[in-house]
Structure 1
Amino acid sequence: MSARYLVVGAGFAGSVMARELAEAGYRAHVIDRRPHVAGNAFDEHDSNGILVHRYGPHIFHTNGERIFAYLSRFTEWRPYEHRVRGVVDGTSYPFPINRDTLNQLYGLDLDEAGAAALFERVREPRDPVVTSEDVVLNSVGRDLYEKFFLNYTRKQWGLDPSELKAGVAARIPVRTDTDDRYFTDTFQAMPKDGYTRMFERMLDHPNITVELGVEFDNVRAAEDFDHIVYTGPIDAFFGFRFGHLPYRSLRFEHEYLPDVDQYQETGTINYPNDHAYTRITEFKHLTGQVHAGTSIVREYPQAEGDPYYPVPRAENEALFKRYEALAKEESNVTFVGRLAQYRYYNMDQVVGAALAAARQLID
């Protein structure tokens, strides 16, 4: 009889692992505490027929040809390049900051060399670069930092940029050209039939069973499996033995606007300095859906709730390392994914981590 794997979580990490194990001839029983597959990428048609992302916008982008090809087995794609604008003092500007942002904001007519010279003139050199504040001040200086980054970061993380590791701000580029795409990856697209359908196809295999609305603790005590693939919070797995790892959560406010063809000029608008929410996303930009009305979502960061983002601080990393040491002693458990590895992964990075973990188990 082939080995039985319990896969905890039906998001990217768990679903990719389950599919790889199933194709290798093993049986994978996938559980999820939510009533649906796809994890935070879950999308569905709202009551007005518009495809919405229930847990905020998920824009797929990757430079990994292998990862894109892997997911292409389970979906066709709709080409989509995400664009974002940031509202400062009532005016929207291209974001990430590029040459057009500078020219519009300061009433200038800079070419690429002029934009580079402006950044060089206003930047506040930091050495070493340790925090997110260091990253931004070192790159664009005080004024742009305060207009676009400071308050957005405070809302998003509940912390000052000086309290966050450099990697948070390093994710956001600064450009001297006029490229207004949020991402510059080689592959940028949205699943043509939505994320949920892609996951359903991935989990459609005779060696995979799926059970939803189930808590891990109820299953781990009741059934015997040869190996567990765990994609939930690593601190929860160990009963919070060393205390809770800090996560940032979100509250989503979805709204349908009848008889509004387009609510905003780009898929997402950031509000760094106004409102309690950080951004508004309009889904029809992402999906290309044609509909008489439109649906938007506002995102309100908060401390309590489902864990979305590991909080990147040195003390949190140190706490994670204590849990990671326990995890390494669990020979029959594989920990993979954003929550299990306490990493601020993009979707493609989770797929890559899962494929690598599956290879280790199968080989």
Structure 2
Amino acid sequence: MKADVLVVGAGFAGSVIAERCASAGRQVLLIDKREHVGGNAYDESDAQGVLVHRYGPHIFHTNAPLVSEYLSQFTDWIPYEHRVLASLDKKLYPIPINQTTINRLYGLSLDEAGVARFLESVREPRSPIRTSEDVVLSTIGRDLCDKFFRGYTRKQWGLDLSALSATVAARIPVRTNSDDRYFTDSFQKMPAEGFTAMFARILEHPRIHVELGIDFRELRQRAEWKLLFYTGPIDEYFDFRFGPLPYRSLRFEHQHLSGVEQFQPVGTVNYPKDDDLFTRITEFKHLTGQQHSGTSIVREYSTSEGDPYYPIPRPENNEIYQKYATEAASERLAFFVGRLAQYRYYNMDQVVAAALKASETVLKAS
């Protein structure tokens, strides 16, 4: 088996790289150990005909015109602004925390300036800011931290806020106004026919050959290529020579509710208290705009075992990664791109941007 370019992984990073290389005249072999393309963004119709995301909700948003313009070649879009509520004591509160959250929780009627003063009065300044606990306490204080963040974090990461790098909590803003959108990016839309249909169009190029259900560790013994783009776990590529990198995994419990047109008022409801073993419930019809007499939901459970989903941001884990990154830099014709290959908590648009940049850089140099 021969190819100019071998791409390992058919998610966003691998698919975009494969398309860019094929459009530049290279013969591309794209492989994935799963039986489908799309990586974790894969969606499909369930048995009742509702379009669901098999690996949990994927909401596309970006401030990068380069990314949205590139993907728009392969899909039409429908508008969608994601909204998230947190369930506490059978009441629902907007997340990220905003003016409505605080007024509803504490029975207040503060305006935007009043919310700013309230947050200033409850925050616990921390210096230096090293952990996610430092970020949250210094922004919203202890009560809001314990209600909305501490239990959720323990379930999601298997660690207390104090054991996670500051970058995790820094991803979630706090607002003094009533904006209840989860994201504020300029481009917030969903692929009109779903992510899988978009991936199929990205990979339609005649110089791309896709093989699924193939493990790279087996293929590398019999295939030949000139360039390799690897998007899988970097520690696995190097046979775990510096030890395994820690990842957080997920378990999904999908359910269809016949005769129920709407299960919850927004796309996702978080369950931050320890009483509920799952972290959140997503109802897919909110995301897709699909009309159906029933509805399909998914409960998410965070686990320590299973497919790698989230790199765990801790200094000691980054130290292990840097050893692998040094090894990767010495691989003259192999390039490592994506969340698992770069051990980085990328959003989808960031993965696309990294893939576009990597393929352009490598193709120019070769």
Displacement of 1:3 in angstroms is: 6.6
Q: Answer yes or no: is 1:43 the counterpart of 2:62.
A: no
Deviation at 1:35, TM superposition (A): 0.2
TM-score, normalised relative to structure 2: 0.98
Give 1:289's aligned residue: 290
- Runs of 4+ in structure 1 off by over 6 angstroms are none
- Indicate the RMSD between aligned Cα atoms, in angstroms: 0.8
Look up the equivalent residue of 2:324 and give its one-letter code. Answer: Y
Q: Deviations over 1:186-214 (max 9, x none)?
A: 00010000000000000000110000000
* CA deviation profile, 1:143-169 (whole Å, cap 9, x unmatched): 000000000000000000000000100
Counterpart amino acid of residue 52 in structure 2? V
Deviates more, 1:28-37 or 1:218-227: 218-227
Deviations for 1:249-295, whole angstroms, at most 9, x for unmatched residues? 00000000000000000000000003110000000000000000000
Q: How many residues align?
A: 362
Q: Which residue of 1 aligns with 2:29?
A: 29
Alignment match, 2:307: 306
Cα distance in 2 for residues equivalent to 1:144 and 1:86: 12
Question: In structure 2, how many angstroms separate the alpha carbons of the residues matched to 1:128 and 1:89?
Answer: 34
- How far apart in 1 are the matches of 2:120 and 2:244? 42
Aligned pairs (5 A) from 1:179-328:
179-273=179-273, 274-328=275-329
Number of the residue aligned with 2:76: 76
Corresponding residue of 1:338: 339
1:3–1:213: structure 2 CA closer, same or farther, 3 Å change rule? closer
The answer for the alignment partner of 1:348 in structure 2 is: 349
Partner SS for 2:305 = coil
Structure 2 counterpart SS, 1:142: helix
**In the TM superposition, what is the alpha-carbon distance from 1:110 to its structure 2 partner?**
0.3
Aligned-partner Cα distance in 2 for 1:90–1:156: 21
Displacement of 1:332 in angstroms is 1.0
C-alpha distance in structure 2 between counterparts of 1:157 and 1:124, whole Å: 23
Q: Is the 8 A contact 2:86 2:95 kept in 1?
A: yes
**What SS does structure 2 have at the residue aligned with 1:348?**
helix
Kept in 1, the 8 Å contact 2:3–2:224? The answer is no
Q: Aligned partners of 2:174 and 2:25: how far apart in 1?
A: 47
Contact residue 3 and residue 29 of structure 2 kept, 8 A: no
Q: Any gaps of 5 or more consecutive residues in structure 2? A: none
Work out the CA distance in 2 between the residues paired with 1:117 and 1:87.
25
Structural mapping, 1:2-13, within 5 Å = 4-13=4-13
Question: CA–CA distance in 1 between the matches of 2:139 and 2:329?
Answer: 39
Question: In structure 1, what residue type is equivalent to 2:116?
Answer: A
Deviations 1:302-361 (A, max 9, x none): 000000000000000000000000001101101000000000000000000000100111
Specify the SS of the correspondent of 1:318. Answer: helix
